[in-house]
Structure 1
Amino acid sequence: MTSTTNSPDGRASGEVVLDVQDLVKHFPLTTGILFKRHVGDVKAVDGVSLQLHKGETLGVVGESGCGKSTLAKLLMRLEEPTSGRAIYKGENIYDLQGKALRDMRRNIQIVFQDPYSSLNPRMTVGDIVGEPFDIHPEVAPKGSRRDRVRELLDVVGLNPEHINRYPHQFSGGQRQRIGIARGLALRPEIIICDEPVSALDVSVQAQVVNLLESLQDEFGLSYIFIAHDLSVVRHISDRVAVMYLGRIAEIGSDAEIYEKPTHPYTQALLSAVPVPDPSVRGQRQQIILSGDVPSPANPPSGCRFRTRCWKATDLCAEEEPELRVRSGSDHPSACHYATVREDVVVQH
């Protein structure tokens, strides 16, 4: 894990490589066939602000449907935002066009969740890993591309002699390594990992996470690591942002989030993490949340978590809590009654 110090506002110190400011993505809901009428919006991402620092890993966690993957697509410009900015090298990436956009995409790459569907089954591994060079020929001249692909396969722990094989001839973990090699091909500065290990066996997950850590050290990469498994996120992340219904509920260093959680949602997530030690397990209290996750098309007023929260009062329904540092805490939390709860923490 990269060493990164935190300031009192929960942000790591050091050079900011990506500054996300109040990012919003609403998907319109319509009715009718011939004459469509706008009847509402799915608020997938609804005001997310965060910073990624050079050489760090920022983990983004939350339940399915909280907006994590939509956030990843927005940062790659695979989706256009409803509003908001993402500043990379002094420019808003949503203003870029043509060559400037291609240059940005060269420096911000993605590793997708499913290694079975993210690789073209009709292409060899050599063609898959080398395809970025067709779009950015300046990175590797034609005469050296095959050697470059072999180097990339070797770097991610695959046999370079398997360059002519097809994806179906590899295991799930090996396919994800192919996806990582493709992401590394253009020597990016940032890699967005969209649940890269969720489709893999536990033993293979550890191997892929260890590979990502070693590549970060070797190439000076910055990661945004999206996942729903809190134990995986803690292993690799310097800082963690917890998302709920399109917004960040809490953000801080891994120690702050896992040892001093202040938001009730974070506390509930941590209480559900399995603990192998029976003596420790007996000391922890599991928090069972009531009800279901509200629809992002019709989120609750005020605090979005209040319908499932044991601390909720009339204030929570009337006033949306800001993401800020509160009394008795050392990192930002979006809760009016944020307090540390130690009976749910996850020990190393």
Structure 2
Amino acid sequence: MHADRSGRSLAREDGWEARMLLTRSRADKAGAGREAVLEVRGLVKHFPLTQGILVKRQVGAVKAVDGVSFDLHQGETLGIVGESGCGKSTVAKLVTHLEEPTAGTIRYKGEDITKLSGRALKAVRRNIQMVFQDPYTSLNPRMTVGDIVGEPFEIHPEAAPKGDRRRKVQELLDVVGLDPAYVNRYPHQFSGGQRQRIGIARGLALRPEIIVADEPVSALDVSVQAQVVNLMERLQDEFGLSYLFIAHDLSIVRHISDRVAVMYLGRIVEIGTETEIYEHPTHPYTQALLSAVPVPDPERAERRERIVLEGDVPSPANPPSGCHFRTRCWKAQQRCAVEEPALAVPENFAGTLHDEPVHHPSACHFAAERAAVAPPVAG
């Protein structure tokens, strides 16, 4: 069940629990056999650290993104999760070309967009749009909703004739569940959920193929989060969109994503389908994240084994050698300090079948499954 055009949904009455009633055919949307509309390889973004007042010299760099690779298939949702500061938002800005990468390639339908500029880049940006995190600061308070949603038509006039833009803006508001009569209102006259719908309408204006959603529901109430997520799923089906969905909330990511990538300190440490990541995690960091997710069943919660990571997250300006996670990992050995683990199917799972849940890439030398909940005691 998805939110209808008036914005009313089952989630409004029952809150976030209503999302559990939504069903999706993940087998048909997992990306198998589909074209990769976005190919990211070896993506790096280092921000220089400088010293000096008159003469500045570089003394180091913040390694925000340190070698990220993934594919995004047509009609697929790839979720990216991780702690604050792991580089998720920087990846979003690099994909949308709001930041220039230090190294690596981003290919949109086979074309490396990192080398584009001018009109060529402008044409690609029409097909890769972004929904920003904070609905309260991402909309210009001095512009009406009609001007905000219609602004992409000013930049790309070929998308809509000038005399037809108001009608198209009203159609977009209707698509995202807002009254078309709101076209002359200002952002301060809307709630947080309505503002996020306005941001989504702006992202849809040019009929893009890819939408990069950077924490699109983190600033919203739980019931409103459900409405916005339901809306995004419905729009994906209607317009054939591909989503790069970034969030902290593992429950939301599981609900909307076909595949999930887990990031730690600028690197992807595990990637796989929703079932592989949530039911069969093999990387210690992923297991620690999942152990912190609340369990609604009191009996399972009592038997749950919580993994508490020791120490602080290392500075991205001076990350540990080898495996970045080794300073907080209970499995760390000498090999972890000198050899960087590759993001690949671990050696101990290499002999498993490709359709087995454990057969997915994990950047750990000692990857292994670990039950999140201990089995019940007999008798």
TM norm. shorter chain > 0.5: yes
> Are residue 337 (structure 1) and residue 369 (structure 2) matched?
no
* Aligned twin of 2:315: 295
Q: What's the counterpart of residue 355 of structure 2?
A: none
RMSD value over aligned CA atoms?
1.4
- Determine which of 97, 100, 115 is the counterpart of 1:80: 100
Q: Would the aligned equivalents of 1:13 and 1:53 in 2 still touch at CA under 8 Å?
A: no
Q: Contact conserved, 2:136 with 2:192, CA < 8 A, in 1? A: yes
Q: What's the offset of the Cα at 1:273?
A: 0.4
Aligned residue among 14, 21, 26 for 1:3: 26
Distance 2:215 2:121 in 1: 25
In the TM superposition, residue 3 of structure 1 has moved relative to its aligned partner by 3.3
Instruction: Give the Å deviation of 1:277.
Output: 1.3
Distance (Å, rounded) in 2 between the aligned partners of 1:302 and 1:183? 39
Once the two structures are superposed, the pairs formed by residues 196-345 of structure 1 within 5 Å of their partners are: 196-326=216-346, 327-328=348-349, 329-343=358-372
Gap change, CA 1:208 and 1:6, over 3 Å in 2: closer
Tell me by how many angstroms 1:282 deviates. 1.7
Matches within 5 A, 1:117-128: 117-128=137-148
In 2: Cα distance, 1:12 partner to 1:28 partner: 39
- Note closer, same or farther for the CA distance 1:164–1:242 as it changes in structure 2 (3 Å cut): same
Aligned to 2:8: none
- Does the residue aligned with 1:42 lie in a helix, a strand or coil? strand
The equivalent of 2:120 in structure 1 is: 100
Distance 1:97 1:268 in 2: 42
Task: Report how far residue 342 of structure 1 moved.
Answer: 2.0
SS at match of 2:158: coil
Post-superposition offset of 1:344: 5.3
State the 1:96 CA deviation: 1.2
CA shift in 2, pair 1:107/1:2, >3 Å: farther
Give yes or no for contact 1:18–1:53 (8 Å, CA) kept in 2.
yes
- Corresponding residue number in structure 2 for 1:30: 50
Counterpart selection for 1:62 from 75, 82, 102: 82
Taking the aligned partners of 1:61 and 1:40, their CA distance within structure 2 comes to: 27
TM-score by length of 1: 0.96
Q: In structure 2, give the amino acid aligned to 1:195.
A: E
Higher mean C-alpha deviation, range 323-332 or range 23-32 = 323-332
CA positional deviation for 1:283: 2.3
**Is contact 1:18–1:87 with CA below 8 Å preserved after alignment?**
yes
Contact 1:5–1:13, Cα closer than 8 Å, also in 2: no
Instruction: Please state whether the residue corresponding to 1:214 is helix, strand or coil.
Output: helix
Distance 1:99 1:195 in 2: 29
2:192 maps to 1:143: no
Match runs of 1:162-177 below 5 Å: 162-177=182-197
Supply the distance in 2 between the matched residues of 1:145 and 1:113 (Cα, whole angstroms). Answer: 26
Mapped partners of 1:281, 1:337: distance in 2: 27
- Summarize deviations over 1:241-297 as a string: whole Å, max 9, x none: 000000000000000000000000000000000112101212221100000100000
- Structure 2: segments with no counterpart, 5+ residues: 1-23, 350-357, 375-379
CA–CA distance in structure 2, aligned partners of residues 44 and 133 of structure 1: 33
Q: Tell me how far 1:5 sits from its aligned partner.
A: 6.2
Residues 344 and 324 from structure 1, CA distance in 2 versus in 1: closer, same or farther, beyond 3 angstroms?
Answer: farther
* Separation in 1, partners of 2:25, 2:122: 29
Q: Tell me how far apart the structure 2 counterparts of residues 43 and 240 of structure 1 sit (CA, whole Å).
A: 22
Distance 1:163 1:272 in 2: 43
**Is the 1:2–1:238 contact (alpha carbons within 8 Å) kept by the matching residues of 2?**
no
CA distance in 2, matches of 1:4, 1:33: 57
CA distance in 2, matches of 1:130, 1:295: 42
* Counterpart residue number, 2:130: 110
The SS at the match of 1:342 is: coil
Q: In structure 1, the residue corresponding to 2:323 is in which secondary structure?
A: coil
Compared with structure 1, are the counterparts of its residues 6 and 146 closer, same or farther at alpha carbon in structure 2 (3 Å cutoff)?
A: closer
Q: Deviations over 1:170-204 (max 9, x none)?
A: 00000000000000000000000000000111111
For the residues of structure 2 that align with 1:43 and 1:338, how far apart are their CA atoms?
25
2:267 maps to a residue whose letter is: R
Q: Which amino acid aligns with 2:371?
A: E
1:116-139 Cα offsets, whole Å, 9 max, x none, are 000000000000000000011111
TM-score normalized by the length of structure 2: 0.88
Aligned length: 342
State the identity %.
Answer: 74
**Secondary structure at 1:332's aligned position in 2?**
coil
